[in-house]
Structure 1
Amino acid sequence: MADANAGLPAHIERLADRARSYVEAASSANTRRAYASDWKHFSAWCQRSNLSPLPPDPQIIGLYITALASGTAERNPKSNSVSTIERRLSSLSWNYAQRGTPLNRKDRHIATVLAGIRNTHGAPPRQKEAVLPEHLIAMLETLDRGTLRGIRDRTMLLIGFAGGLRRSEIVGLDCGRDQTEDGHGWVEILDKGLLVTLRGKTGWREVEIGRGSSDVTCPLVAVETWIKFARIERGPLFRRVRGQGKDVGPDRLNDREVARLVKKVALAAGVRPDLTENERAEKFSGHSLRAGLASSAEADERYIQKQLGHASAEMTRKYQRRRDRFRVNLTKAAGL
């Protein structure tokens, strides 16, 4: 493939390269992978259906989302959930926009079909299981405190839970400000706790993680212990452990490692023994830590909302698996 910048002055080439880096920075790596995967899925369906993915044709998109809902878009019949269909549609919109050929999602071939799919197949969202404090303590006990991997994993679980952090926010942390280009925040160790500065979905925010009541479950102690034994002075906070667990490398952990860790230790600790192994793997994820804090912290809702970085209290309530839903009784308030 020919270089799109061929023949351009050197300073313009540099600007073009910088512009591409800004385009990449506009969305997370996970989002870009999902966009690419969804475009590949759509293109494969078009090829099997003897259709062309370009230029955008609302009628073809309407047929595609119909195939997704009816389970005929795959080689092996499998119907997609409404949320998956909406995500794939958003991915197509993004991909078309990047090609300079916007997709009109309000066209009746798309909007009317999607409305019918929502009415026919819509279902309440399936939430991830919350990791509650008693679960977390049991999960921590399954990790070896005498190994680098065990120390690191304990630290990620504790800071993820106490900070109400997303998995990408956990692995995106650096030891200090402006230390890496791919970092999404940094930690500051203070006397009373950790001050975590994050660049999340809603912009920059500060998260205060106070000292725990015990050193065993204290996020601050865990971070100090990890930094000391991993001999990390700057750069990514959470890194790969290599050399049969005796050495810490320079590379930042992938955020999927957080989800794998939560699933693994929840299974090892016997959390939710009523579930099968496969069900537990489906129920627990990195989001389980955020849901656990939201569900168990005995604090005013606005503080929980701030910690999780939510724009609305309604979103925070969706994370609260355990709360008094009838604290405000409008029946009695109305005089009945």
Structure 2
Amino acid sequence: MSKIDQYIQAATRDNTRQSYQAAVRHFEVEWGGFLPATADNVANYLAAYANTLSLNTLRQRVAALAQWHISQGFPDPTKLPVVRKVFRGIQALHPAKEKQAKPLQLDQLEQVVRWLESTIEKARSEGNRRTELRYVRDRALLLLGFWRGFRGDELTRLLVEDVSVLPGEGMTCYLSQTKSDRRYQGTSFKTPALSKLCPVEAFVEWIHVSQLNSGPVFRSIDRWGHIAEAGLHEDSLIPIFRSLLTNAGVASADLYSGHSLRRGFANWATANGWDLKTLMAYVGWKNVQSAMRYVDASDPFSQKLIESRLAIKNER
């Protein structure tokens, strides 16, 4: 691979590259399309899967095909009117509500942490090194993910050497790359020490127990209690998270995902008086639309607002 190819590859995130490659394979192999494609080819492809694929998936497939044509030096057929009209028609005839992960509430977070702490104590008393390591790790993963509002890929890419702790005050996590960091400048995230459910304390204990001094913070642990060299894969976080919820007795664990931590924190923050600008700055959202996807109204039926207005009217 030439240096130019290396730089071009580095400009696209691994997840995006893999999803684009899968989309192009689907167009060619599953549907039987040919590249380079015409606008009519792309329009027919969209029509063929309008009933079976979500709008977001179709949008991603179009983006992948556009990227392939541009990178190969061909005209982009996805920008032509017929493709855009077909896509708008699919949106009109197949509207779909976006599926969102159920937000983890603070009392549920406390419930899971209580279960984790009792399980860790039992493992220590029994000399069960594997179980102790696993759940000390999971407690740090859960609390840091919630209070920092991290995405799954951010948690899995966090490095020990990029975390600095100021005892009793907080910790700073540096990520060289995030989804919203389009200029690859790197971002530092500050996390406060708390009187309870403390992410800093949980992180320090995990580092102490695991004896890690460099590399990925969160790693898999085998049946013999050996810690892997590589970090956890992002896809492993949902099974870990749902397993914790199930073991702790949280109902409907399958409705939660890695985004539940981020949505849970966003809802907790807005319910406790954080304005949207402060929340966006803390989490790292660059636009209001991104933030609002994670925030549920604290009064979804506007009951309190209406009742307050009724009370004022009755007083007159």
TM-score, normalisation: structure 1: 0.78
The aligned counterpart of 2:249 is 270
Q: What amino acid maps onto 2:24 in structure 1?
A: W
- CA drift at 1:162: 0.7
Q: Is the 8 A contact 2:149 2:261 kept in 1?
A: yes
- Following superposition, the deviation at residue 259 of structure 1 comes to 2.0
- Which one of the candidate residues 282, 289, 292 is aligned to 2:264? 292
Residue in 1 that maps onto 2:65: 92
- Output one character per residue of 1:236-266: Cα deviation in whole Å (capped at 9) or x when no partner: 1112212x24221211111112222222222
- The corresponding residue for 2:27 is 42
Does 1:202 pair with 2:180? yes
Q: State the alpha-carbon separation in 2 of the partners of residues 310 and 44 from structure 1.
A: 37
Map 1:143-158 onto structure 2 (within 5 A): 143=116, 144-145=119-120, 146=123, 147-158=132-143
Counterpart selection for 1:159 from 126, 129, 144: 144
User: Equivalent residue of 2:286, what SS?
Assistant: coil
1:304 aligns with 2:299: no
1:60 aligns with 41
Summarize the alignment of residues 51-200 of structure 1 with structure 2, pairs less than 5 Å apart: 52-70=33-51, 79-143=52-116, 144-145=119-120, 146=123, 147-176=132-161, 186-191=162-167, 192-198=169-175, 199-200=177-178
CA distance in 1, matches of 2:191, 2:220: 24
Aligned position for 2:232: 253
Note the C-alpha offset of 1:322.
4.6
Indicate the SS of the match to 1:196. Answer: strand
Partner Cα separation in structure 2 for residue 259 and residue 38 of structure 1: 23
318-327 vs 194-203, which moves further: 318-327
**Mapped partners of 1:133, 1:239: distance in 2:** 26
CA–CA distance in 2 between the matches of 1:261 and 1:267?
A: 10
- State the AA in 2 paired with 1:295: N
Corresponding residue SS for 1:319 = coil
Conserved? CA contact 2:42–2:78, under 8 Å: no
Once residues 288 and 87 of structure 2 are traced to their aligned partners in structure 1, the CA distance between those partners, rounded to angstroms, is 28
Amino acid in structure 1 at the alignment position of 2:151: R
Matches of 1:157 and 1:304, distance apart in 2 = 19
Q: Name the SS of the counterpart of 2:98 in structure 1.
A: coil
Aligned CA-pair RMSD: 2.4
- For structure 1, list consecutive stretches of 5 or more residues without a partner in the other structure: 1-15, 71-78, 177-185
Q: Tell me how far 1:92 sits from its aligned partner.
A: 1.5
Kindly state the Cα deviation for residue 36 of structure 1 after the two structures are TM-superposed. 1.4
Report the 3-state secondary structure (helix = DSSP H, G, I; strand = E; otherwise coil) of the residue aligned with 1:66: helix
Cα deviation 1:299-336 (Å, max 9, x = unaligned):
4222211122111234323211252465999xx8xxx9
Q: How many residues align?
A: 287
CA distance in 1, matches of 2:49, 2:164: 47
User: Hey, what does 2:220 align to over in structure 1?
Assistant: 240
From 205, 213, 220, give the equivalent of 2:200: 220
CA distance in structure 1 between the aligned counterparts of 2:154 and 2:249, rounded to whole angstroms: 27
Cα deviation digits, residues 175-197 of structure 1 (max 9, x gap): 12xxxxxxxxx211113011112
**Identity, % of aligned pairs?**
26
Alpha-carbon distance between aligned partners in 2 of 1:328 and 1:307, rounded to the nearest angstrom: 28
Could you tell me whether the CA contact under 8 Å between 1:296 and 1:322 is conserved in 2? no
8 Å Cα contact 2:133/2:210 also seen in 1: yes
**Partners in 1 of 2:2 and 2:142 — Cα distance?**
38
**Greater fraction of residues in helix:** 2
Deviation of residue 289 (structure 1)? 0.5
Q: Does the aligned pair in 2 maintain the 1:56–1:101 contact within 8 Å?
A: no
- Compared with structure 1, are the counterparts of its residues 63 and 159 closer, same or farther at alpha carbon in structure 2 (3 Å cutoff)? same
Q: Which TM-score applies when normalising by structure 2?
A: 0.83
- Paired with 2:305 and 2:37, the residues of 1 have a C-alpha distance of 49
